[in-house]
């Protein structure tokens, strides 16, 4: 007689518990790797937003100094120097505000630095295990 004709024996409780612990450990390791990957992506996006803020600040500073001097001197030929300086300052303020709005949008996409997708999968896994236990 071959062993194929015989029905497979049900696994023992010890085997089932052993399988459960191995599968749980594997699931936890996989979810941890996925969480780390997700966090790395969010960190990259956050760094990009922070870099955009830094670029906006540096460019705003240099532009303010150079344009302020050049435009104020040019405007001083047709109006009082203080009026020319005021117009240039307002224009620079508008540009800095626009750069800050763009940088804020980039940072909002990266924050909060929580692995949302991984947490949702873990909650689903917990729900499935609870259903099976009941």
Distance CA 29, CA 100 (A): 40
Domain-located, residue 48: yes
45 neighbors 111 (Cβ within 8 angstroms) = no
pLDDT by residue (tens digit) across 82-123? 888 888 788 888 988 999 999 998 888 877 767 777 788 888
How many structural domains comprise the chain?
A: 1
pLDDT by residue (tens digit) across 43-92? 888 888 888 889 999 988 888 788 778 878 888 899 888 888 888 788 88
Domain-located, residue 76: yes
Please give the pLDDT value at position 71. Answer: 77
Enclosing domain of residue 49: 16-128
Please give the pLDDT value at position 46. Answer: 82
């Amino acid at each position: 007689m071959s062993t194929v004709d015989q029905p497979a024996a049900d696994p023992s409780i010890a085997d089932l518990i052993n399988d459960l612990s191995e599968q749980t450990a594997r699931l936890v390791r996989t979810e941890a790797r996925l969480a780390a990957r997700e966090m790395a992506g969010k960190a990259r996006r956050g760094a990009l937003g922070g870099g955009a803020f830094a670029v906006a600040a540096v460019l705003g500073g240099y532009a303010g100094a150079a344009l302020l001097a050049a435009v104020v001197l040019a405007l001083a030929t047709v109006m009082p120097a203080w009026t020319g300086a005021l117009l240039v300052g307002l224009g620079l303020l508008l540009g800095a505000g626009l750069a800050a709005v763009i940088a804020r949008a980039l940072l909002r996409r990266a924050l909060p630095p929580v692995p949302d997708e991984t947490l949702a999968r873990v909650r689903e896994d917990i729900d499935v295990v609870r259903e099976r236990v009941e």
